[in-house]
Amino acid sequence: MRRISIDTQALSTEEYWKLFGRLIISADAGAILGCLGWMLFWFDHIPDHLFHFHPLTVTVFVAAFWAGVVGALVMIKTRNRLGTKTDRFFHVLKVFYAIFAALTGIFAYFSYPPH
Note whether residue 5 is domain-resident: no
Number of domains in the chain: 1
> Over the range 31-62, which residues count as b (16 or more CB within 10 Å of their CB) and which as e?
bebbebbbebbeebeeeeeeeebeeebbebbe
- Cβ atoms of residues 95 and 82 within 8 Å: no
Say what percent of the chain tops pLDDT 90: 80
Note whether residue 59 is domain-resident: yes
pLDDT tens-digit profile of 5-42?
Answer: 888 888 899 999 999 999 999 999 999 999 999 999 99
Note whether residue 55 is domain-resident: yes
- Cβ atoms of residues 89 and 22 within 8 Å: no
Note whether residue 36 is domain-resident: yes
Note whether residue 2 is domain-resident: no
Domain that residue 39 falls in: 12-111
Note whether residue 88 is domain-resident: yes
- Cβ atoms of residues 95 and 27 within 8 Å: yes
Residue 48 pLDDT > 60: yes
Note whether residue 6 is domain-resident: no
Q: Global pTM?
A: 0.91
Note whether residue 91 is domain-resident: yes
Distance CA 65, CA 18 (A): 21
